[in-house]
Amino acid sequence: MKISIIGTGYVGLVTAVGLAELGHQIVATDKDLTKIYKLQAGIIPIYEPGLEELFKKVRAKGLISFIPDLATAIQESEVIFVCVGTPPLADGSADMSQIEEVARLIAENLNSYKLVVEKSTVPVKTSYWIKRTINLYKKSEASFDIASNPEFLREGSAVQDFLHPDRIIIGVENERAREIMLKIYERFQEKIIVTNIDTAELIKHASNSFLAMKISFINLMANICEKTEADIEKVALGMGLDPRIGREFLKAGIGYGGSCFPKDIKALTRIGEELGVEMGLLKEAHKINEDRIRLFLEKVRKALWVIKGKRVAVLGLSFKPNTDDIREAPSLKVISELRREEASIHLYDPKAMDNMKRIFPEDPPNLVYHSNLYEAIKGANALLILTEWDEFCQMDLDRVKNLMANPIIIDGRNIFEPEEIRKKGFEYYCFGRH
Ligand code: UDX
């Protein structure tokens, strides 16, 4: 099938490459033309494991192309996947202006039947607004349908998630749209669940909010562990072995970040409230997460007493391992605070340093980026671990101890066994463990 993809961020690009791998003919576009020119030249503007290889493969087969002109992309395809951003507004609701703009452009270029597929995470009822917008602005008699097909891929394993989905949710309101969507995902037939559009939209927000809530729950238990003799890793194991609870997403630490959980939990809270539903449960989950940074900094102060003038190494700038994405990463708030308190900050991340430099430009000797983790920790009074990259979990602790001025580790991700690391001579702080 001929499919256009509007928006080539993490979701749009993985969807474009993934759908091409399923054998469809993809034309992708973005209003950020520098991205399009890079992609035309064969350069992937983000880091996502496996994406480059798959991109090269589908590109060599001629299944994917990138064009700057959105009108042409719309006119030439029957199916349009909308993958533009829905960032949070100050009040927590999702900013729908990019979706609205795309809806207007689809209306203006409606030259034949189109199926408009919402791929970006959108609030329940968005399809109503897209439909209304297209009807208001369209100039031809051509018909169109809306479908919701929420994306569940995780950054860092997005390509694998696309190619091996747990489920594919398709929200449609008629047979024509249903048949097109089933054809697109023919290869994953047994994974498909067809619902109405409101349900599909809500499944996405509900899934992300539930997972965020699960993390906040275990973090709340970690707080109790810290006041008692309990150990959060064992609590999580003991809980998680109950299949109704499950082992995943029970890792306590500095809290969730990224472009989805913080935004989606706030957006669902807003929608619920607008609909007159009491949303205290989600508000509390968000509040617990916000408090993680304060608790982490409290540990840093407990270890260092005065932060001013201390040399602090910070490992892990992305919001989680295997991505260069720093959106809503705990590192942003931690670095801001360390800067405010005038620490000398030494940073290292395997992939996210270029992105971080745009927010916190190099400012030696107060803020320095290093090309490897051992350089970053040389002479440090404390080492802060903010994401659990493999490279950090496997670091040579004897070497680390020799390089640091004071062997103090404040671990936001519980990557070490407290007893073992203390035996090696470190002063060690983590969440919910003794
Ligand atoms: C998430 C959803 O998992 C995915 O289905 C959806 O499409 C987009 O949002 P992503 O944001 O890429 O994906 O990351 P995810 O792996 O879910 O982690 C989110 C955050 O939670 C990270 O900051 C991670 O460090 C944190 N986390 C995760 C924990 O703190 N503890 C855990 O047990 C699990």
Q: What is the pLDDT of residues 223-260, one digit of tens each?
A: 999 999 999 999 999 999 999 999 999 999 999 999 99
Taking CA atoms only, the protein residue closest to ligand 1 atom 19 is: 256
| Catalytic residue check, 225 | no
CA distance 434 to 117: 50
Beta strands 344-348 and 367-369 are parallel
* Whether 41 and 168 share a structural domain: yes
From ligand 1's centre to the CA of 94, what distance in Å?
A: 19
Domain that holds residue 136: 2-195
CATH number at residue 250: 1.10.1040.10
From ligand 1's centre to the CA of 72, what distance in Å?
A: 36
* Whether 311 and 360 share a structural domain: yes
Element spanning 299, H or E: helix 280-304
Ligand 1 contacts CB of residue 155 (under 6 A) = yes
How many domains are there within the chain? 3
CA distance 98 to 104: 10
CATH number at residue 68: 3.40.50.720
* Whether 182 and 212 share a structural domain: no
* Whether 260 and 333 share a structural domain: no
* Whether 147 and 215 share a structural domain: no
pLDDT value at residue 56:
97
For the chain, residues with pLDDT lower than 50 are: none
Ligand 1 contacts CB of residue 249 (under 6 A) = yes
* Whether 234 and 326 share a structural domain: no
CA distance 350 to 94: 31
pLDDT value at residue 229:
98
Residue 281 belongs to some domain of the structure: yes
* Whether 174 and 269 share a structural domain: no
Q: pLDDT tens digit string along 284-322?
A: 999 999 999 999 999 999 999 999 999 999 999 999 999
Residue 434 belongs to some domain of the structure: no
pLDDT value at residue 146:
98
> The pTM is what?
0.95
